[in-house]
Amino acid sequence: MTAFADRDLTLPGGRTLHVYDSGGPGRLTVLWHHGTPNLGAPPGPLLPLGEELGIRWISYDRPGYGSSTPVPERSVGTAGEYATAVADALGVGRFAVLGHSGGSSHALACAALLPDRVVAAAGLAAVAPFYGENWFAGMADPGSLRAATEGRAAKERYEAAARFDPAVFTDADFAALKGSWSWLDSVVQPALGAVGLIDDDLAYVAPWGADPAAIAVPVLLVHGEDDRMVPAAHSRWLAARCPRAELRLTPGDGHISVLDHAAAALTWLADQASSASEATTGAR
């Protein structure tokens, strides 16, 4: 089983970023971007396949989670800064990015901002940049994100009284949480109550500071058609704007059960990276 080294990386100005690294050269390095609220440990259910594919996993807790220093005004686009710092510190040149939910947004921002580093991007249940009232359409419980549109004070008041609404998950989601993706509990529970949740939601409804239309590398977007937390319209919006996007809508899947397609997304990333390497070699 893949083992990880984790440590606090010191950033300019004395801030810290908690980093994870499976080590080794790997045929491909994949930077995992976690959802909200999660810690950033790479996805346990994908580790066996990662070993087969020769994946080196790297990742980090976004600011405000774990021991990563909070950055209250961060944008989704600041993921490019953090990804660069992590890759540089670990001696990684080029890498692929993979994320779930809001983590997919951060992965796509990296692809847009780091064209010389990111070879391919995959996102499951991605959150699109805020595009107005229709952005909330189909959400079973949009209250948290609506509060974020009113600013930090409103968001903090909302979270102080918030209760989980089970309507956001489908039966398939609950089955995945009990079975194939029960691992999520290990990264969600330590993140509950973290200021990172507030900062994430404020970032989702603010300008990203990164344009999906600028992504030049291949992008895979996978979204459950029955997703009640982040409706599939978000990935449709992104797919219409990312020049090299492939959209896979999965019938019967919700926000969590779509992760049952994460293995296929990881294999797709490995294939894209291999094709890019062959193209580069052939051009020499």
Q: What is the DSSP letter of 133?
A: G
pTM flag (> 0.75): yes
Instruction: Give tens-digit pLDDT for 213-253.
Output: 999 999 999 999 999 999 999 999 999 999 999 999 999 99
- Separation between Cα atoms, residue 163 and residue 281, nearest integer Å: 54
Percent of the chain topping pLDDT 90: 92
Neighbours of 120 (CB within 10 A): 26
Residue 276: pLDDT band (50, 70, 90) is: confident
pLDDT for 279 equals 62
- Separation between Cα atoms, residue 106 and residue 34, nearest integer Å: 9
Instruction: Give tens-digit pLDDT for 166-181.
Output: 999 999 999 999 999 9
Dmax (CA) for the chain in angstroms is 60
Work out the mean pLDDT of the chain and round it to a whole number: 95
